[in-house]
Structure 1
Amino acid sequence: MTSVSPTTTAGAAVTAGGDHPLYDVQREIDDLDAVIERVGGPVLLLGMSSGAVLALEAVARGSAVSALALYEPPFVVDGTRPPLPADYVDRVQAAVVRGNAAEALTYFLTVGLAMPDEAVAGMRHTPVWAAWEAAAPTLPYDGQVMAGTMSGRPLPADRWRSVNVPVLVGCGSAGETYMANGAKELASHGDNYTLHALPGQNHNVDPRALAPVLTAFFTGS
């Protein structure tokens, strides 16, 4: 069985088919379906961070997946961190349209990821900052993938009802409380969901800790 992994980095969820003025999550899924068709599905699918939500959405919309593993979808389902403002995507998009990548990225980090201002200030002097600024035009896409799931309210009960394949929902025991709570709530949505907390891990999970968990899940061992 082939494995495929949609992930996002610094919120950059960009389609394999290229950028487009009018973003649509369905085009992300169309790209994934093209990969699945190419390799010969159904596949074992791994999604991480907001890529986990994209993977979940793809399976809900009928992508050929036989088992789904998700790591720390960044849901906000309670008051353990501030929810996203209703105009979050609009504000990020406005900064992008103005050509102010630094403003868009800063807003994503401080509001989207709830990072302290001082931490973000320190990151501006690291080599990764330039790469993240280059990805800033895709940040509104990340917000659209996450739409309605970072509101501080429970997850929509019916949104992924059609997902009936085995689903592993992973989180780190040393990570953010809000992500752990979101993972727990998602895992409560059906008997086909299994929650697994990785000891000592956070959102930046060590592949050496994650790999054996995925292997056991995907092989049924």
Structure 2
Amino acid sequence: MTVESYVTSADGTRIAYERTGSGPPVVLVGGGLDDGAENAPIAPELAGEFTVVNYARRGRAGSGDTPPYALAREFEDLAALIAMVGGRAHLFGASSGGGLALEAAAAGLPVDRVAVYEVPYFVADDQLLQWREYVVNLQALLAEGRRDEALELFMRLAGSSEEDIARARSAPVWPSLRTLAPTLAHDAACLGDGHPPPRLAEITRPTLILTGDNPFFHDAATAIAKTVPNAQRETLAGQGHVADPTRLAPTLSRFYHAS
């Protein structure tokens, strides 16, 4: 992500962001191993109708990461960005960034509408056990500075084959992923124990739960929709875990403009 500006969070951490367009503000919240680049293509699709803020979450790209980490610090980062655009904003969160967006709304941040895409919560007991084992192992690997193995662990959780992992390790992007590896712990914090937490019932704002074609995310979305009041559920047919921005943006626009 190309950094244009910074805001200062409550703990003094500088958070890098790009701001484009005009109109009601929308803050884009990235997911795992994303420094803002994954959401960047959505910004120009929305910028004709909205002020779009795409930011690098703490520990990514130009954003700092003042220790100790806590999920509440990420709420404060969002609060600083929302204050910068006038005090209220819509949120869009992708993947684990959707978990962060939902948690922030439940915590009472001044948001208007919240849309999330394919939040990777787990529903089945075996999936929850796998998630909790992943978190324990991830923390141990990162504590020992074993970033490559932490990345491999994450990729296996996401369903990558050993061949996929071998190709990724030899790809030019791998060093950048190693830099981002410590933030995998941040994303784990956004998803908590792996199941949609009961506190999401405290969300008072209209919420849109989006998925593509993968049935795993459908199960998660159903669980979220059962927990969050005022939740709407929609599927974008033909979409993978990173949705085509030309398909995603019109759906977001309709939702954010709804009365």
TM bucket normalised to smaller: 0.7 to 0.9
Separation of aligned partners in 1, 2:177 and 2:145: 14
| Aligned-residue offset at 1:117 | 2.2
In the TM superposition, structure 1's runs of 4+ consecutive aligned residues that sit over 6 Å from their partners are none
Q: Greater shift after overlay, 1-10 or 102-111?
A: 1-10
Separation of aligned partners in 2, 1:55 and 1:32: 9
Percent identity between matched residues is 34
Q: What's the TM-score, normalizing by structure 2? A: 0.75
Residue aligning to 2:80: 34
- RMSD between superposed Cα atoms in Å: 2.2
Residue aligning to 2:226: 188
Separation of aligned partners in 2, 1:85 and 1:73: 14
Separation of aligned partners in 1, 2:216 and 2:126: 5
Residue aligning to 2:135: 89
Separation of aligned partners in 2, 1:189 and 1:7: 22
Note if 1:15 corresponds to 2:58: yes
Higher strand share: 2
Contact 1:80–1:178, Cα closer than 8 Å, also in 2: no
| Aligned-residue offset at 1:74 | 0.5
Q: What's the TM-score, normalizing by structure 1? A: 0.87
- Deviations 1:35-69 (Å, cap 9, x if unpaired)? 11111122111111000000100011110001000
Q: Greater shift after overlay, 85-94 or 57-66?
A: 85-94
Unaligned runs of 5+ in 1: none
Note if 1:166 corresponds to 2:209: no
* Equivalent of residue 178 in structure 2, options 129, 133, 150: 133
- Deviations 1:137-157 (Å, cap 9, x if unpaired)? 21111111111125xxxx34x
Residue aligning to 1:6: 29
Residue aligning to 2:235: 197
Higher RCO (CA-CA < 8 Å; seq separation 6+): 1
Separation of aligned partners in 1, 2:141 and 2:248: 36
Aligned residues: 213
SS at match of 2:201: coil
Separation of aligned partners in 2, 1:123 and 1:82: 26
SS at match of 2:115: strand
Contact 1:76–1:83, Cα closer than 8 Å, also in 2: no
Q: How does 1:68-87 map to 2 (within 5 A)?
A: 68-78=114-124, 83-87=129-133
Unaligned runs of 5+ in 2: 1-23, 36-55
| Aligned-residue offset at 1:123 | 1.6
SS at match of 1:168: strand
Q: Which amino acid aligns with 2:211?
A: C
Separation of aligned partners in 2, 1:95 and 1:184: 33
| Aligned-residue offset at 1:166 | 0.6
Contact 1:82–1:114, Cα closer than 8 Å, also in 2: no
* Equivalent of residue 116 in structure 1, options 161, 166, 169: 161
